[in-house]
Amino acid sequence: MTKPREMIRVEKLNKSFGDLHVLYDIDLKVNESDVVVLIGASGSGKSTLLRCLNFLEFKDDGKIVIEGEQVEAATHDLNKVRAKVGMVFQHFNLFPHKTVLGNVIEAPIQVKGMSKKEAVKEGKRLLDKVGLGDKYDIYPSRLSGGQKQRVAIARALAMQPDIMLFDEPTSALDPELVGEVLETMKELGEEGMTMVVVTHEMGFAREVGDWVVYMNEGRIVEEGQPDHIFDHPKEERTKAFLNSIL
């Protein structure tokens, strides 16, 4: 078997906010087409880790290697890195004064320098893909939360990222809207997108995840294939966490 391509490698990543040390010696590897699911209680550092991967926060020390290249905030064009590593947030932050299609084509035109014609063609393709082919000209206020989040996913995909990070993309949604967003993410994973997903949706983690990482108080406590983590966790803290949410 050929060796899988390594998309993200994190080594001994540490991060503090002032006196508060929130990530301790994090090591993480994500190979091409892997879906890695990060789980853990609120405050355990999951969002901070994702934000460090996307350089919305800066690590204190350690290494972040993206597609074979060690990235340092001081020396790299972070807009280029962020174009490779797309991110979807809990709150979608769509531009309210732009249409759905307007939201999706904005960054490819402004940041990537794509022609409007090309951006529109690609934007429509992506909106069709996330099931919003009839909503190009609608304003976000007219959409449900699940539809808004699918626009946010299409918007991130419009930058043609190699990796997608999701930070609790369904946590702000009414329960009946969660499924449509998870389904969109599942399809993306099945198409081979490399993904790191923070979620409390354990059904998704088990079904779609290739690897599950459990974090507690800024440390990776246990990681493994979904069956291992959910059916045979070794660590008491993992068991307690799973009992608390299931």
**Comparison of 158 and 164: residue with beta carbon closer to Mg ion:** 164
**Comparison of 17 and 95: residue with beta carbon closer to ligand ADP:** 17
The C-alpha atoms of residue 43 and residue 46 are separated, in whole angstroms, by 8
- Minimum distance of Mg ion from residue 45's CB (angstroms): 8
- Minimum distance of Mg ion from residue 209's CB (angstroms): 18
Query: In the bound complex, which residue of the shown chain has the CB atom lying closest to Mg ion?
Result: 47
Closest CA to 93 of 159, 148, 172, 165: 148
Binder of residue 184, out of ligand ADP, Mg ion, none (CB less than 5 to 8 A by kind): none
Contact residues for ligand ADP, defined by CB under 6 A? 17, 20, 22, 40, 42-48
Binder of residue 199, out of ligand ADP, Mg ion, none (CB less than 5 to 8 A by kind): none
Q: Read off the tokens for 55.
A: 């350089």
For residue 166, the 8-state DSSP code is E
- Minimum distance of ligand ADP from residue 230's CB (angstroms): 19
**Comparison of 88 and 130: residue with beta carbon closer to Mg ion:** 88
- Minimum distance of ligand ADP from residue 201's CB (angstroms): 15
Contact residues for Mg ion, defined by CB under 5 A? 47
| Amino acid present at 230 | F
3-state secondary structure of 216: strand
- Minimum distance of Mg ion from residue 234's CB (angstroms): 25
**Comparison of 22 and 130: residue with beta carbon closer to ligand ADP:** 22
| Amino acid present at 89 | F
Are the C-beta atoms of residues 136 and 100 closer than 8 Å to each other?
yes
**Comparison of 126 and 181: residue with beta carbon closer to Mg ion:** 181
